[in-house]
Every structure is written in structure tokens, then in C-alpha cells.
A and B are shown apart, each in its own frame.
Chain A
Amino acid sequence: MQYQWNAYRGDQDGCERTSKVFSMRSPSVLSDFHAAGRKHVAEIFMGTRLGGRRHDQNMPDFKIQGSFRSRDCKIVKTCTGEVVARISRKRVNNTTILLSDDVFSLVVQPGFDTHLIMAFVIVLDRISSKPFSPFLCS
């Protein structure tokens, strides 16, 4: 079992395939056996690619590396290896004083849609931060 979140345009309730923007999921437990030492914690498929069985083996469009729980991770575009956005703990005015981890910085590289990146972060929080949430029992 793994968690997958789908994002749809706007606030519509109907999960129509046409309005799907991306799918994001934690990496397959089974594929961990294949790729030992894999580091990414989530993978993102743009558009409607995820869902058909034939696409399941494909490379994700984006992946998230590092630890979101310790607020130290980056979103990487898989095909180029380019870092799209980086999450880090927020410091007080460039000093070494760290704020609590409820507050963190998100630096998005130029040109990428910030609302998509922010949606990735929200899903990442839901996927990774609460291993014993009531969500498991639903």
C-alpha cells in the first residue's frame, strides 16, 4: 500500500481525469528492493500519466530528495537533475538562530510555477510527517 495524492484544477469536487494536474506518491515499497540506497521520498507525475498500468514503470517527472521532517529537502526535475525548489529551516535574519520547524523557507527557482511547487509541499507534508495519523485507519 502506498499513498497517492491527485491534484485537480480549481476547487471542483468531481475527480475528472481531464482536470488532473499531477499525481504525487511515496515511492513504491517494492521498488526499494530494486534500487537500494534510493534517496527520494516522493515522486510526482505530471498530467494524467499515472493511473494506466503501462506508465507505472516510467520515471517520475519530479522527485523529492532529503528529509521533509527535518525541513531539509529539494525538489528535483528528474530528466535534467535540475533543482527546482529547496526547503530549509528558516533562520532569523541570516543569523544561526533557527525558527521552529512550523516555519520554513521555500526557494523556488525562476520560471517554475510557485503554486505547483507549493502543492507539492502540502502533499509532502501529508505523505511524510505523520506516520501514525488517523489517515491510516480510514
Chain B
Amino acid sequence: MSRIHPSDQSRSHGHLLFKNHKLGSRTRPLHDDDDKRSDQLPADPSVMLTVWKRSSMSFQGTDGFTVFDPHGTLVFRVDNYSRKNGYGLVLMDGVGNALLSLKPKVRTYNVHQLVHQGFIFAMSTPRVMA
């Protein structure tokens, strides 16, 4: 597979997925309250994507995802260059515009949650590091 460079992907500016996304009314809302409207949408075919668990930048040490549609157009990519910045990842479209930032967070339980879920521990510490 040849190396994919963002500047080669200018055609994905007009990609169908993003046209739909910009229109807004064609995408079904993910929230429950708006479900009633979804019945009026035309029956679009389902979207088939091929996900390649590898960065589009093909040098050593990079990590990420490259996603293609059935026509071979690069639709999404994730490139993880370093482990800095709180291990955050950025989901980009084919030309490198950021769509979503993903950030990890470690959750801990506190006593309120444990008691609420039916677990009562005889512990004097106010915080339980599970």
C-alpha cells in the first residue's frame, strides 16, 4: 500500500458522508427525544467502511487508524504521534480537519457509589481506590 498523504485526498472534501453531515437534517439524531422525526427520513443504504488499524503516516512508532469507504477514499484518520498530551487522540476527516478529541480519564469509586450499589465496606478511608 502506498503512503497516503493528506494533500492527495482533496477529493474527500466533497465526500458524501460529510455532505450528509453538513445538511444535518438527514442524519438521525442520536438522542432519544428526537426519534419521532427519524421515521420521515429516506431509506439510505447502510455505510460500509473498512477500518485499518494503522496510522496513515507510515513511519515507525506511529499508531492510529485509517478508514476507507468502498470506493477507496480516505474518510477518517487518527494519527497518534506521541504519548504526551494526556494520551488524547484526535479523530480527523480525510483531509485532516479535527472532528472529535478523545481523552481518557481514570474513574475511582467513592464510598457513596459503593453504598448506593449495595456494597458496604468496613473501611475508615473516605476514598476507595479499586
Residues from chain B with a CB closer than 8 A to the CB of A12 are: 101
Whether B44 lies near A126 (C-beta < 8 A) is no
Interface residues of A in 95-109 (CB under 8 A from B): 101-109
| CB-defined A-B contacts under 8 Å, sample of 27 | A1-B109, A3-B107, A4-B104, A6-B105, A11-B98, A12-B101, A13-B101, A28-B117, A30-B114, A90-B50, A102-B54, A104-B50, A104-B51, A104-B53, A106-B48, A106-B50, A107-B46, A108-B47, A111-B28, A112-B28, A114-B47, A114-B49, A114-B76, A118-B51, A118-B67, A118-B76, A119-B91
Residues of A within 8 A of B51 (CB): 87, 103-106, 118, 121
Is B27 a contact partner of A15 (Cβ separation < 8 A)?
no
Q: Which of under 10, 10 to 19, 20 to 34, or 35 or more describes the interface residues of A? A: 35 or more
Number of A-B contacts (CB under 8 A): 157
Chain A CB within 8 A of B120 CB: no
Q: Which B residues, 86 to 130, have Cβ-Cβ distances below 8 Å to chain A?
A: 87, 89-91, 93, 98-109, 112-114, 116-119, 129-130
> Which residue on chain B has the smallest CB distance to residue A103?
B52
Q: How far is the CB of B86 from chain A (nearest CB, A)?
A: 9
Q: Which of B104, B106, B113 contacts A126 (CB 8 A)?
A: B104
Q: How far is the CA of A104 from the CA of B50 in the complex (A)?
A: 6
Task: Check A123 for interface membership: any CB of B closer than 8 A.
Answer: yes
